[in-house]
Chains A and B, each alone.
Chain A
Amino acid sequence: MTPLTNKLFLVIERDVRLFFQYRFMIIMRAIWFVSQIVLFGLIASRMISIPTQTLTTGTTYLQPNQTYVFDINVTSDLNSILVNASSAQGHGDVQVYFPNGTLAGGGHFDSTAGNYSLEFGFNTPDVGLWSVKIVSADAADNYSLTAYSLLDYFRYYVAGLSIMTLYSAAIFIGFDLYEEAEHGVFEYLLSLPVSRRQLVLGRSIGGGLRAFIYVGPLIAVSLYVIGSLNPVAFLISLFALFLFAFGISGMSITLAVIIKSSDRFDILMGVLDALIVRLSTAMYPLAVLQASSPLYAGLATLNPLTYVTDLFRWGTAVTPLDNPLLPVLVVVAFFGFFTFVGVTIYDKRIEGGGWQ
Chain B
Amino acid sequence: MSQVIHIIEHDFRNFLRYKMWLVGLITMNLADLFITAVVYNKVLNPNLTIKNYFSFFAPGLVVTGLFASAFMIGREINMERRREVHHYMLCLPMTRMELAVGRVLSGGMRGMIYMSPLLATCFVFLGLPTLPQFFVILGLLFLTAIGISGLSIAIAVSTSSLEKFVTARGLVYYALFFCSSVFYPLSLIQQLGQEGKFPAVLVTFAEINPLSSTSDTIRSFLLGSPQFSYYSILNVVVFSAIFTLSAAFAYIKIIERK
Please give me the residue from chain A that is nearest to B160 by CB atom. Answer: A24
Number of A-B contacts (CB under 8 A): 132
B161 surroundings in chain A (CB, below 8 A): 179
- Asked if B38 contacts A46 (CB within 8 A), the reply is no
| A25 contacts partner chain B, Cβ-Cβ < 8 Å | yes
Contacts known (A32-B171, A35-B174, A292-B39); A82 close to B46, Cβ less than 8 A: yes
Does B168 lie within 8 Å of A28, measured CB to CB? yes
**3-62 of chain B: CB within 8 A of chain A:** 18, 20-21, 24-25, 27-28, 31-32, 35-36, 38-48, 51
Per-position 1/0 for B142-175, Cβ under 8 A of A: 0000000000000000000111101110110011
With both chains docked as a complex, state the minimum distance between the C-beta of B252 and any C-beta of chain A, in angstroms: 24
Query: Residue A351 at the B interface, CB < 8 A?
Result: no
CA distance A87 to B47 in the complex (A): 19
B162→A175 contact, CB < 8 A: yes
CB of B125, distance to nearest CB on chain A (Å): 17
| B21 engages A175 (CB within 8 Å) | no
Given A35-B178, A42-B192, A48 contacting B45 (CB threshold 8 A): yes
B258 touches A (CB below 8 Å): no
List chain B residues, Cβ under 8 A from A124: none
Residues of A within 8 A of B41 (CB): 292
Of the 9-residue stretches B93-101, B133-141, B183-191, B235-243, which lies at the interface with chain A? Answer: B183-191
Identify which of B24, B27, B175, B184 gathers the most chain A CB atoms within 10 Å of its CB: B24
Are A48 and B40 interface neighbours, CB within 8 A?
yes
- Whether the Cβ atoms of B31 and A284 lie closer than 8 Å is no
Residues of A within 8 A of B51 (CB): 114
Q: Which of B21, B167, B179 contacts A267 (CB 8 A)?
A: B21
Known: A48-B40, A289-B39. A271 touches B28 (CB 8 A): yes
Which of B28, B32, B46, B168 lies in contact with A118, CB distance below 8 A? B46
The interface residues of chain A lying within 8 Å CB-to-CB of B44 are 47-49
User: B35, B47, B82, B174: which contacts A278 (Cβ < 8 A)?
Assistant: B35
- Known A-B contacts A42-B198, A270-B28; the reply to A117 vs B46 at CB < 8 A is yes
Which of B20, B47, B166 counts the most A-chain CB atoms under 10 A from its CB? B47
- Could you tell me the distance between the alpha carbons of A270 and B13 in the complex, rounded to whole angstroms? 23
B257 within 8 A of A: no
Residues of A within 8 A of B198 (CB): 42-43
- Residue A50 at the B interface, CB < 8 A? yes
> Which of A31, A117, A267 lies at the interface centre, i.e. has the most chain B CB atoms within 10 A of its CB?
A267
Size bin of chain B's contact surface: 35 or more
CB <8 Å contact, B167 and A29:
yes
CA distance A245 to B181 in the complex (A): 34
Contacts of A175 in B (CB 8 A): 162-163, 166
Collect the chain A residues with CB atoms within 8 Å of residue B184's CB. Answer: 43-44, 46-47
Inter-chain contact B39/A267, CB cutoff 8 Å:
no
Decide: B162 and A178 in contact? CB cutoff 8 A. Answer: yes
C-alpha gap A268/B18 in the complex (Å):
13
Kindly state whether residue A224 has any CB partner on chain B within 8 Å.
Answer: no
| Known contacts A28-B168, A46-B188; A119/B174 CB under 8 A | no
Contact assessment for A263 and B20 in the assembled complex, using a CB-CB cutoff below 8 Å: yes
Does A24 lie within 8 Å of B167, measured CB to CB? yes
Given contacts A175-B166, A179-B162, A271-B27, contact A43 B192 (CB under 8 A): yes
In A167-216, the 8 Å CB interface with B consists of 172, 175-176, 178-179, 182
* Residue pair A44, B21 in contact (C-beta under 8 Å): no
Q: Quick check: A279 and B28 within 8 Å, CB to CB?
A: no
Nearest-neighbor residue (CB-CB) of A31 within chain B? B171
Q: Please measure, in the bound complex, the distance between the C-alpha atom of A39 and the C-alpha atom of B184, giving whole angstroms.
A: 11
Residues of B within 8 A of A291 (CB): 42
Give the docked Cα–Cα distance between A141 and B12 (Å).
67
A284 touches B21 (CB 8 A): no
Known A42-B192, A118-B47; judge A275-B31 contact (CB<8 A).
yes
A274 at the interface (CB under 8 A from B): yes
Contacts of A117 in B (CB 8 A): 46
Across the interface, which residues of A come within 8 angstroms of B164, CB to CB? 24-25
Tell me which residues across on chain B come within 8 A of A25, comparing CB atoms: 163-164, 167
For residue A40, which residues in chain B have a CB less than 8 angstroms away from its CB? 174, 178, 183
Proximity bits, A36-77, B CB within 8 Å = 1, else 0: 100110111011111000000000000000000000000000
> CA of A239 to CA of B111 in the docked complex: distance in angstroms?
44
- Interchain CB contact (< 8 A) of A32 among B24, B174, B191: B174
Q: Is the CB–CB distance between A271 and B192 below 8 Å?
A: no
Query: Which of B32, B45, B48, B174: most chain A Cβ within 10 A?
Result: B45
Expressed in whole angstroms, the Cα–Cα distance for A22 and B162 within the complex equals 12
Instruction: For the A-B complex with A48-B43, A271-B27, A279-B35 known, give 6 more contacts whose Cβ atoms are closer than 8 Å.
Output: A31-B171, A42-B192, A119-B45, A175-B166, A270-B25, A288-B42
Interface residues of A (CB under 8 A from B): 22, 24-25, 28-29, 31-32, 35-36, 39-40, 42-44, 46-50, 82, 114-115, 117-119, 172, 175-176, 178-179, 182, 262-264, 266-268, 270-271, 273-275, 278-279, 283-284, 288-289, 291-293, 296
Q: List 5 A-B contacts (CB under 8 A).
A: A47-B45, A179-B161, A283-B36, A283-B39, A292-B38
